[in-house]
Structure 1
Amino acid sequence: MAISSYPVQFAVDYPERKLNRLTTFFRPLVAIPIAIVLGAVNGGTVQLGAEQRGATFVAAGGLLFFGPLLMIVFRQKYPRWWIDWNRELLRFTNRVGIFLALLDDRYPSTDERQAVALDLPEPDARADLNRWLPLVKWLLALPHYIVLAFLWLAAIVAVLIAWFAILFTGRYPRPLFDFVVGVARWHNRVVAYAWLLLTDAYPPFRLGA
C-alpha cells in the first residue's frame, strides 16, 4: 500500500489473475447473503405482520457516531473498543463494497483482510482531538459530500464498463480499477473525519494516496 501523509489509508490489491466470469455476471445475486449479514450488524429495525403487530427484529450495531461525539465533547475520551468496533465494521463494509464493485471475486470475509487494506488512526482524544470540532465536522465536510455524489455516479458507470470487460476478457481494466478504488479511498477518509471522528485532519480532495 502506498504511503500517505493523511492518517486514513486505503488500498485494494489489484487481481493479477483472471476474475471469475460466472460470479461476476451474477454478482448482485451472489452478494445477497453477505449483504444480509452486513445489514444485521449495521443497525436497523424490521417489523413483520399486519399493522406492525407481528414480530420485530432489531439489528445490533452500526457505526458509532453520537456516542463518541458526546464522549469527546464532554469527557475528552474515545473508548478504545468503540474505535475497534468502527474500524472493523468499516473494513467489513469495504470488503462487501469492493465485491459488489467487482474489484475482487473472493467472497467477502467477516474478519479476514483479503484484498482490502484500511488503516485508521487510534487517537488519544485529549491529546489529538479538538473537543469542539466534532460538533461541526459533519458540516465542514459538505464540499466533500457534493464532490463524492458526482464521483460515485462516475464510479457506477466505471463498474458497469468493467462488468462487460470482465465478462469478455476476465480482467478489470486497471485505469477503471484505480478510479473506483480512489473514490472509495476518498469516501473512507470523509467517513473517518466527519462521522467516526477519528482525526481532525481535513480530508484531501484527491483520489490518490
Structure 2
Amino acid sequence: MAYPASVSVETPDRVANWRPLVHWLLLIPHLIIFEVLQNVAWLLNVVGWVAIVFTGKLPKGLADFQSMYLRYSIRLYAYFDFLHEQYPPFAFDMTSADPGGTPVSAGLEPQLTNRNRLTVAFRLILAIPAAVFVVVTGLITTVLVVLGFFAVLFTGRWPAGMRGWVVSWHGVSLRFNAYLHLLTDQYPPFSLDA
C-alpha cells in the first residue's frame, strides 16, 4: 500500500430499500461505545505525543489502541452510509492488522520507531491543510450520502460513481485520522485515489 492507512469496502449491487430508514437507529449502541472510545483515543493521543516528542518512538500498545479505534470508526461510518448490510461487530481487537470478517477492511501500518519529533510536535498546525481537504470533500460526501439515501430508498442501488466517491472519502478520512492520531509521519495525500 502506498500510504500506511487504506480502506476497502465490499459494496453489494443491491441494498435493501428500508436500510436507509433504520441504519441510524441500529447504530445507537455502537455510537455510545464509539463516543467512549473516541474520548480515550484523544487522551491516549496526548500520551503518544509526549512519548514521541521525548523518545522518538510510539509505544506499540498506544498504536494498537488507535488502530482499533480507527478501524471501529470506519466500520461504523461505512454502515451508517448504508454501503453494505452486515451489522458491524462489537470487535475490539487491539492489533494494527485488520482481523477481517467484515465488508470493511482498514489496513493500518503504524510507524513505531524513527519518528520525526519536530513534525509530531507541531502536528495540529501541520494538519490544518489536510483538515481543510477532509472537510471540503466531506461536505461533498454528505451531499452524496443524502442523494444516495433517496437512490437506495427508491431503487435499492447506490449510483456507482456516487458510491465510489463515498468509499474513497472513507479512505481520505482514515488517512487523515491515522496522521492526526500519530500512527504515521507521512502526510496524507490530497487525493481520493491514494
> Does structure 2 conserve the Cα–Cα contact (< 8 Å) formed by 1:162 and 1:173?
yes
> Does structure 2 conserve the Cα–Cα contact (< 8 Å) formed by 1:23 and 1:30?
no
Residue 26 in structure 1 maps to residue 26 in structure 2: no
SS at 1:117's partner residue? strand
Residue 62 in structure 1 maps to residue 47 in structure 2: no
Residue 107 in structure 1 maps to residue 69 in structure 2: no
> Counterpart of 2:94?
none
Tell me the alpha carbon deviations over residues 51-82 of structure 1, each in whole angstroms, 9 at most, x when there is no partner.
xxxxxxxxxx2343111111111122211111
- Give the superposition deviation at 1:24: 2.0
Larger radius of gyration: 1
Segments of structure 1 that go 5 or more residues without pairing to the other structure are 44-60
> Counterpart of 1:91?
71
Amino acid paired to 2:168: G
> Counterpart of 2:95?
none
For the structure 1 residues 146 and 30, does the alpha-carbon distance in structure 2 shift closer, same or farther, using more than 3 Å as the test? same
Query: How many angstroms apart in 1 are the aligned matches of 2:174 and 2:24?
Result: 22
> Counterpart of 2:154?
168
> Does structure 1 conserve the Cα–Cα contact (< 8 Å) formed by 2:111 and 2:185?
no
For the structure 1 residues 7 and 62, does the alpha-carbon distance in structure 2 shift closer, same or farther, using more than 3 Å as the test? closer
- Give the superposition deviation at 1:28: 2.0
- Give the superposition deviation at 1:147: 2.1
> Counterpart of 1:207?
192
With the length of structure 2 as denominator, give the TM-score of the two structures. 0.87
The ranges of structure 1 where at least 4 consecutive aligned residues each deviate by more than 3 angstroms after the TM superposition are none
Residue 138 in structure 1 maps to residue 124 in structure 2: yes
Structure with the largest fraction of helix: 2
Tell me the alpha carbon deviations over residues 16-55 of structure 1, each in whole angstroms, 9 at most, x when there is no partner.
4x21222322222222222122223323xxxxxxxxxxxx
> Counterpart of 2:6?
9
**More contact order relative to length (CA 8 Å, sep ≥ 6):** 2
> Counterpart of 1:37?
33
SS at 1:26's partner residue? helix
Amino acid paired to 2:41: G
How many residues are aligned here? 185
> Does structure 2 conserve the Cα–Cα contact (< 8 Å) formed by 1:83 and 1:122?
yes
SS at 1:21's partner residue? coil
Query: How many angstroms apart in 2 are the aligned matches of 1:103 and 1:69?
Result: 34
> Counterpart of 1:123?
111
> Counterpart of 1:154?
140
Per mean C-alpha deviation after superposition, the further-off stretch among 72-81 and 108-117 is 108-117
Percent pairwise identity:
29
Segments of structure 2 that go 5 or more residues without pairing to the other structure are 92-98
> Does structure 2 conserve the Cα–Cα contact (< 8 Å) formed by 1:144 and 1:190?
yes
> Does structure 2 conserve the Cα–Cα contact (< 8 Å) formed by 1:24 and 1:105?
no
Tell me the alpha carbon deviations over residues 140-182 of structure 1, each in whole angstroms, 9 at most, x when there is no partner.
1211211222211111110111111111221111111111111
Amino acid paired to 2:74: N
